[in-house]
Amino acid sequence: MTTQQAPSNEQIRGAWNGIADGFDELVTPETMVLGEEIVRRLGLRAGTRLLDVAAGSGALSIPAARLGADVVATDIAPGMIERLNARARAEGLSSVRGLTMDGQALDLEDDSFDVAASINGVSLFPDMARGLAELVRVTRPGGRVAIVAFGPMEKVEFIAYFIGAVRAAIPGFTPLPTNPPPLPFQVAAPGVLRERLAGAGLHDVQIDTLTWDMAFDSVQHLWRVFASSNPIGAHLIAGLNDGQRADVSQVLEGMLRERSAGVPGAVLHAEVNLGTGTV
């Protein structure tokens, strides 16, 4: 096992700020489809006090606020919060407040929310236990905590396709470490997510597996989403030279056309786990 030093808060903040523009343009609209489904499954409604941690630019917060939920959205990256607040203003949503804040040390009162949730946010924390403890602390007794996290990498196709294309086009290239797995996949197994939630003191823990469909109209679209979805992807792509980029794109083109029976774009599926528990 390779021991890797956890990044500092400053490094994390800078990395996410660095992709905030692309994330807001390309990733948030796709993730908002998933956010709307999570809002429905959680039964959020007008007056629900919701905390959205590691909120990005609002894929969960905005759909919840549209229903009248009283939303506080936090993210360590001010660039994400600026874009979240801009989205809220553009829609005239006064019931959502975006705040720059470390999800592992929330500057919020105990027992303040009915629901505390995170989509591919807390599940990416280097110290996920601290993030979960904070969610539990700020949720009222009887309230719920909800974590949405990626399933196994091979079942998150927009990532699996890209990694597969890199491996095929560049023999010997190792895109991502697997032991330990990258942070986005640290709770990919439903049983591991269940253990983490129960370990945080939650009861009535339930894990549901969902399929999130993502439509890509071209290789270029997939490339840009992968590069903007996480600093890991941005770093991987930055390490490719022009020839490697061309080779990877050619492989991806074939993979997408195979999925879509010859059409340039394709719908790729992502397995995600929704873990909920009661405080």
> How many other CB atoms are there within 10 angstroms of residue 5's CB atom?
6
Q: How high is the pLDDT of residue 5?
A: 63
Q: What is the mean pLDDT of the chain?
A: 94
| Strand 96-100 relative to strand 113-119, pairing | unpaired
- Mean pLDDT of the 137-152 span: 98
- Mean pLDDT of the 87-103 span: 97
Report the percent of the chain where pLDDT is more than 70.
Answer: 98
For the ranges 6-15, 66-75, 196-205, the lowest mean pLDDT is seen at 6-15
In the predicted structure, residue 4 carries a pLDDT above the cut 60: no
Q: Which H helix or E strand runs over 91?
A: none
* Under 8 Å between Cβ of 105 and 131: no
In the predicted structure, residue 2 carries a pLDDT above the cut 70: no
| Plot region of 136 (φ>0 → left; ψ -120 to 50 → alpha; else → beta) | alpha
Q: How high is the pLDDT of residue 7?
A: 79
> What residue ranges do the domains of the chain occupy?
9-278
Q: How high is the pLDDT of residue 179?
A: 74
* Under 8 Å between Cβ of 54 and 75: yes
CA atoms of 88 and 74, how far apart (whole Å)? 14
Q: How high is the pLDDT of residue 90?
A: 97
In the predicted structure, residue 100 carries a pLDDT above the cut 80: yes
- Mean pLDDT of the 221-232 span: 93
Q: Which structure tokens are listed for 146?
A: 């909800």
Class of domain 9-278: alpha beta
For the ranges 138-147, 160-169, 191-200, the lowest mean pLDDT is seen at 160-169
- Mean pLDDT of the 17-46 span: 96
3-class DSSP assignment, residue 168: helix
In the predicted structure, residue 175 carries a pLDDT above the cut 90: no
In the predicted structure, residue 3 carries a pLDDT above the cut 60: no
* Under 8 Å between Cβ of 221 and 161: no
In the predicted structure, residue 174 carries a pLDDT above the cut 90: no
* Under 8 Å between Cβ of 136 and 202: yes
Give strand pairing partners of 275.
147, 207
- Mean pLDDT of the 192-198 span: 98
Amino acid (1-letter code) at residue 26:
L
3-class DSSP assignment, residue 182: coil
- Mean pLDDT of the 38-64 span: 97
Report the percent of the chain where pLDDT is more than 90.
Answer: 88
